[in-house]
Amino acid sequence: MIRFILADLRRLWMGSLVVVLLVALATALGVSVVLQERALRLGSARAADRFDLVIGAGGSETQLVLSSVFLQPSPLPLMSGEVLARLAADPRVDWAAPIGFGDSFSGYPIVGTSTMLAQNLSGGLTEGKIFVREGEAVIGAAVKLSLGGEIKPMHGSLEEGGETHTELVYHIAGRLRPTGTAWDRAILVPIQGVWHIHGMEAEEHSEDGEHEHEASGTDNAEHGHAHEKAGADHDGHEHHGEADPDAALDESWTAAAPGLPAILVKPKTIADAYKLRQDYRSGNTVAVFPGEVLTNLYATLGDAKQILVAVASGAQALVAASLVLVTVIHIGQRRRQIGALRAFGAPRGAIFGIVWLEFFFLLAVGIALGFALGYAAALILSGMFSQTSGITMPVGFAREDAGLAAVLLAFATILAALPAVLAYRQSPAQALRA
* pLDDT computed for residue 209 by the predictor: 37
Q: What is the pLDDT along the chain (434 residues), one digit of tens a residue?
A: 566 566 666 776 777 788 888 889 888 988 998 898 888 888 888 888 889 999 998 888 889 998 999 888 888 888 988 999 999 999 999 999 999 887 889 889 999 999 999 999 888 899 999 999 989 999 999 999 999 999 988 876 655 556 676 678 899 999 999 998 899 999 999 998 888 887 766 344 333 433 333 333 333 333 343 344 333 443 444 444 456 777 788 888 887 888 899 999 999 999 999 999 999 987 789 999 998 888 877 776 666 667 777 777 787 777 777 777 776 666 665 665 665 555 555 566 667 777 788 888 888 999 999 999 999 999 999 988 888 877 888 898 988 889 888 988 898 888 878 776 766 566 555 554 54
Exposed (0-12), middle (13-18) or buried (19+): which is 387, by Cβ within 10 Å? exposed
- E strand or H helix that includes residue 262: strand 262-267
Residues contacting 250, CB < 8 A, separation 6+: 192
Give the amino acid at 310: A
Query: Number of helices (H) and strands (E), helices first, in the chain?
Result: 15, 11
Using CA atoms, how far residue 334 sits from 12, 79, 223, 250, 432, in Å, is 11, 78, 79, 86, 10
Residue 153: DSSP 8-state: -
pTM, full prediction:
0.72
The pLDDT of residue 353 is: 76
Helix (H) or strand (E) holding 128: strand 125-128
Tell me, what's the pLDDT at 425? 61
Q: Residue 306: what pLDDT?
A: 75
**How large is the C-alpha radius of gyration of the chain?**
31
| Cβ atoms 411, 398 nearer than 8 A | no
Looking at residue 163, its pLDDT comes to: 67
Measured N-to-C along each axis, helices 399-425 and 290-333 cross at an angle, to the nearest 10 degrees, of 20
Q: What is the pLDDT of residue 159?
A: 59
The DSSP secondary structure of 208-259, one letter per residue, reads HHHHHHHHTT---HHHHHHHHIIIII-TT--------TTPBP-----TTSPP
How many degrees, rounded to 5, is the angle at CA 213 between CA 209 and CA 219? 150
CB atoms within 10 A of CB 423: 24
Q: Where does 49-165 have alpha helices with state H? A: 61-68, 82-89, 115-120
